[in-house]
């Protein structure tokens, strides 16, 4: 089992083990409002991008990043935070996330709780580096590398994004690579996991199947199916 899969399972176990103590809390009270809309992936429009079935993985990650930034910028304004969180939910592969984080769930309510808790924790994963997300579409997507493939017959993609450390004095040694895993759900590219690639600090230093990622990026710059 690889390191990334280990992290996925560990996170899922943490969420599953936290469900019962959190039953009835304010976070779960918010679940009903969002889960009704998030049961099925659908087209959303945000930050100048329409995330329809033609949208690329890069488009989806861009919208997610902007929504994370707005979530933090909203501070104590709960209305704005809810709006930003709604957009984040709209970028997620709801059913895939549920399957990954609810393996120990015993009923539908626990599955919904697991999904909600995972969705709420994706933004903080990359939140420390959110100042990078202030860049416009051209600049921010230039930081990304996307590749499309298949896993067990399922269309998959991952997007790597170079993120700057918020303290200029800690660059470049403090920079990181965020990794967004996506799948096709109902014909839409959507995110099902957010984490980091800890093997380098710049994806341009990496290779894939023996080929430099920078060379692959020239042939597949937007993450569309090839």
Do 169 and 138 have their domain in common? yes
> Is the residue at 43 inside a domain?
yes
Contact (Cβ atoms closer than 8 angstroms) between residue 114 and residue 98: yes
pLDDT digits (tens, 9 = 90+) for 73-132: 999 999 999 999 999 999 999 999 999 988 877 788 888 888 888 999 999 999 999 999
Residues 178/166/203/46 CA torsion (nearest 10 deg): 50
107 and 136 housed in the same domain: no
The answer to whether residues 99 and 190 belong to one domain is no
User: Which residues are 183's β-sheet partners?
Assistant: 156, 190
What is the domain range of residue 44? Answer: 3-127
104 and 134 both lie in a single domain: no
Q: How many domains does the chain have?
A: 2
Given 127, 160, 190, the domain boundary residue is 127
Q: Which range has the top average pLDDT, 6-10, 11-15, 27-31, 126-130? A: 126-130
Output the pLDDT for position 222: 52
Domain limit, last residue, from 127, 149, 183: 127
At 131, list the tokens. 């100042």
pLDDT over 90 percentage in the chain: 60
């Amino acid at each position: 089992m690889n390191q990334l899969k280990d992290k996925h399972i560990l996170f899922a176990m943490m969420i599953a083990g936290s469900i019962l103590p959190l039953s009835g809390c304010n976070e779960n009270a918010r679940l009903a409002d969002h889960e009704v809309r998030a049961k099925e992936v659908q087209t959303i429009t945000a930050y100048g991008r329409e995330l329809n079935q033609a949208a690329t993985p890069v488009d989806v990650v861009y919208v997610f990043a902007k929504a994370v930034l707005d979530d933090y910028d909203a501070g104590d304004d709960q209305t704005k935070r809810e709006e930003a969180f709604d957009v984040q939910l709209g970028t997620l592969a709801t059913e895939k996330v549920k399957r990954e984080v609810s393996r120990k769930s015993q009923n539908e309510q626990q599955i919904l709780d697991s999904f909600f808790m995972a969705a709420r924790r994706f933004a903080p994963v990359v939140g420390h580096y959110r100042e990078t997300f202030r860049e416009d579409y051209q600049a921010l997507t230039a930081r990304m590398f996307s590749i499309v493939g298949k896993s067990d017959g399922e269309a998959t993609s991952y997007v790597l994004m170079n993120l700057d450390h918020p303290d200029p004095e800690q660059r470049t040694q403090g920079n990181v690579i965020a990794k967004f895993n996506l799948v096709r759900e109902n014909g839409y590219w959507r995110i099902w996991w957010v984490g980091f690639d800890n093997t380098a600090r710049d994806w341009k230093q990496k290779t894939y199947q023996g080929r430099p990622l920078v060379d692959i990026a020239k042939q597949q710059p937007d993450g569309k199916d090839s």
